[in-house]
A = this chain, B = another copy of it.
């Protein structure tokens, strides 16, 4: 399934070393001003080679819109778009066409489909997320008209961790350093860790936190369409993601209920809760408070060290290090997390608007 969403949908296509990566956005409201500079900027945040701690693969990643925009506005019809692949180096991959890279999807693609486009991981490459960033950028442009803002950041690498209370930071500060952490001092340390891993031919994972501000109460469908369930599905669909929690998350189990509950209060006449362990969502529905959640990423599976593995026919072999790799995907994943969140929130908002109109 390469279609995401219910009303605002993205259908994604493309392989790492095929002709292009792209997609079709369906259900975008008409009349949204299309800020191409913003869209390209979002892609640039995801682009390889943007800093010394990302893969040196060089791709311009210039997006071409193929439909759905006219005279600078969305028309309400599907927005087709693509990014041509350039720096392919496909021959590098002949070595691995018969060899299963550990913790990659080579083996499972073969099991599922009988064969695979092995060049650069084919469809399983994170290059596919280009489509998500574009669709997320359009969603952000639509949400901007409703004053909804989304900001993600790197919150943990090994034992380096930001404070749980994100209000201590200016979140946009994250955009000022290579690891995308809003704490500049911590960011430096994180970058040092990642650089060291890079020089050792190794890799690191970590945690991204995302904060959504400005949603009105009422978004999300109870039972199977809970807002956090849709956010979780969206995040778990990003390459290398291993976990998701929101609000007090996994930590909630360390509390007694009487200490964990968010007590209601009023503020300027509006009903609010004194604390926000609920993460802005109660019973699957937004309550108007900030929505925040964490996304756990495993260390990049590609490492530049020899690894034991087997071939397609089951012969033992050693995978020799070769090529380029991202020592840590987190900085480039920050805009992807935001993009998926934007799509989920816009979709929920559209559904909510439809329902409440009666």
Contact = CB atoms under 8 A, between A and B. Distances in A.
Given A67-B18, A111-B285, A103 B225 contact: no
Interface in A2-29: 2-4, 6-7, 9, 11-15, 18-24, 26-27, 29
A112 B218 contact: yes
A19 B258 contact: no
A243 interface: yes
Grouping DSSP codes into helix (H, G, I), strand (E, B) and loop, the A interface class, with mixed when no group exceeds half, is mixed
A40 interface: no
Interface in A247-287: 247-250, 252-258, 260-266, 269-271, 273, 277-279, 281-287
A284 to B, nearest CB: 7
B27 A261 contact: no
14 contacts: A2-B78, A15-B70, A18-B67, A29-B355, A31-B113, A70-B116, A75-B116, A75-B117, A76-B355, A107-B217, A128-B223, A225-B237, A257-B303, A353-B354
B242 A236 contact: no
B256 A202 contact: yes
A204 interface: yes
Interface stretch (A53-61, A165-173, A177-185, A294-302): A294-302
B111 A253 contact: no
Contacts of A206: 253
A271 B107 contact: yes
Given A253-B207, A254-B158, A316-B265, A358 B145 contact: yes
Contact of A226 (B82, B197, B237): B237
Nearest to A20: B66
A224 B2 contact: yes
A153 interface: no
A318 B244 CA distance: 34
A96 interface: no
Contacts of A21: 67
Contacts of A114: 30-31, 356
Q: Oligomeric state, in number of copies?
A: 4
Interface range, A side: 35 or more
A51 interface: no
A287 B111 contact: yes
Interface in A34-88: 64-68, 70, 73, 75-80, 82
Contact of A111 (B217, B296, B303): B217
Given A252-B298, A358-B142, A111 B202 contact: no
A288 B233 CA distance: 22
Contact of A32 (B14, B233, B353, B358): B358
Contacts of A158: 253-254
Given A204-B257, A242-B252, A243-B252, 11 more contacts: A7-B355, A12-B24, A18-B67, A30-B112, A70-B122, A75-B117, A114-B356, A142-B358, A233-B236, A260-B299, A263-B308
